[in-house]
């Protein structure tokens, strides 16, 4: 079992399968050039699998594939199947911008994927295009519909930004409610790579806007990143508020990047290279590095102290 020095059980790993992305979201990578790591620097699926098998044997029971945009990496369904076959009861999920989901949802479901979390920041085509710097809304909604059609469980993620999409909170909530999926509103996490004009909306402001139309009660907190609420008519939505001082108390996760680095926390730049150990076939060394990463997880992020992170979300997988 993996326990950190604050007694938090680490049973969740987020795996970024590629840093590449076909969007340029204002809050994530607005100015990143389209030049990327050469292929030989990226872990092969077999190398990732070797490591994840070890992590599963140490107590990891939830794996989320993310990116960059994970659906840009070829044969993702093959990787999903490797993980599913090794441990069919894994909570095996994907976080995607949804652009290619229409094409891949069925393949992924058939390979053993259970859940998909999708980014949806606006229901207005021109606002969605401003945020992603690309005309995306139509395809994203088609991707959502296809994921539901093939039987994947879906959640929506919305990063709320002042003056950009903060007037759409109720519309987005009602869109999700009509589709029968949970939506989580995310506080923008201040990041050096983001567009400088992006300003966060605090969770309290988001909840106040929802309270103008709906009565809701908070559900008991588990170790998910989100707080969940239930409206009087039984709809569940969530809030992800990394600026809240309690946010990190339930942290149960570490991250693996496509380049082979393990990352103890989303805020900090600290990382541990496991690529060499994996390429040498040195599983003992990889296991030691895994334990070191868990041992060095910080107690909390510095967004709570109004600091700005320098770590790129698209490398870390969010």
Ligand X SMILES: Nc1nc2c(ncn2[C@@H]2O[C@H](COP(=O)(O)OP(=O)(O)OP(=O)(O)O)[C@@H](O)[C@H]2O)c(=O)[nH]1
Ligand Y SMILES: C[S@@+](CC[C@H](N)C(=O)[O-])C[C@H]1O[C@@H](n2cnc3c(N)ncnc32)[C@H](O)[C@@H]1O
Residue numbers in the known binding site for S-adenosyl-L-methionine are 27, 68, 119, 189
Q: Which CB sits closer to ligand Y, 158 or 252?
A: 158
Neighbours of 109 (CB within 10 A): 19
Q: How far is the CB of 210 from ligand SF4 (least distance, A)?
A: 23
Q: What is the footprint of ligand X within residues 88-147 (CB under 6 A)?
A: 93, 95, 117
Q: Which CB sits closer to ligand SF4, 25 or 176?
A: 25
Q: Which CB sits closer to ligand X, 54 or 236?
A: 236
Q: How far apart are CA 119 and CA 59, in angstroms?
A: 29
156 and 165 Cβ atoms separated by less than 8 Å: no
Q: Which CB sits closer to ligand Y, 50 or 226?
A: 226
137 and 128 Cβ atoms separated by less than 8 Å: yes
Q: Which residues contact 44 (CB under 8 A, 6 or more apart)?
A: none
Binding site for ligand Y (CB under 6 A): 21, 27-28, 66-67, 69, 95-97, 119, 157, 159, 186, 188-189, 191, 194, 313-314, 317-318
| 242 near ligand X (CB under 6 A) | yes
Known binding residues are: 14, 21, 25, 27-28, 64, 68, 95, 119, 155, 189, 248, 251, 253-255, 265
Q: What is the footprint of ligand X within residues 180-199 (CB under 6 A)?
A: 186, 189
Q: Cα-flanking dihedrals φ and ψ of residue 276, to 5°?
A: -60, -45
SS (H, E, C) 190-231: CECCCCCCCCECCHHHHHHHHHCCCCEEECCCCCCCCEEEEE
């Amino acid at each position: 079992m993996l326990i950190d020095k604050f007694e938090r059980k680490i049973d969740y790993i987020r795996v970024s399968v590629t840093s590449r992305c076909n969007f340029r979201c204002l809050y994530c990578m607005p100015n990143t050039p389209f030049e990327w790591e050469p292929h030989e620097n990226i872990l092969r699926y077999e190398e990732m699998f070797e490591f994840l098998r070890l992590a599963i044997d140490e107590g990891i029971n939830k794996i989320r594939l993310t990116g960059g945009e994970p659906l840009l990496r070829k044969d993702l369904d093959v990787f999903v199947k490797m993980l599913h076959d090794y441990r069919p009861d894994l909570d095996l999920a994907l976080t995607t911008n949804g652009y290619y989901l229409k094409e891949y949802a069925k393949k992924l479901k058939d390979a053993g994927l259970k859940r998909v979390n999708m980014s949806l920041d606006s229901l207005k085509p021109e606002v969605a295009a401003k945020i992603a710097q690309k005309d995306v809304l139509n395809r994203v909604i088609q991707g959502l519909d296809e994921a539901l059609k093939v039987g994947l469980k879906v959640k929506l993620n919305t990063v709320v930004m002042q003056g950009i999409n903060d007037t759409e909170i109720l519309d987005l909530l009602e869109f999700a409610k009509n589709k029968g999926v949970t939506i989580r509103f995310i506080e923008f996490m201040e990041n050096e790579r983001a567009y400088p004009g992006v300003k966060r909306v605090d969770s309290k402001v988001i909840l106040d806007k929802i309270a103008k139309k709906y009565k809701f009660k908070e559900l008991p907190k588990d170790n998910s990143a989100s707080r969940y609420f239930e409206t009087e008519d039984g709809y569940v939505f969530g809030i992800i508020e990394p600026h809240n001082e309690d946010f990190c108390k339930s942290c149960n996760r570490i991250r693996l990047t496509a380049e082979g680095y393990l990352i103890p926390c989303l805020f900090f730049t600290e990382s541990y290279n496991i690529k060499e150990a994996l390429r040498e076939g040195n599983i003992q060394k990889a296991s030691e590095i895994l334990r070191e990463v868990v041992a060095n997880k910080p107690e909390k992020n510095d967004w709570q102290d109004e600091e700005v992170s320098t770590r790129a979300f698209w490398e870390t997988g969010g």
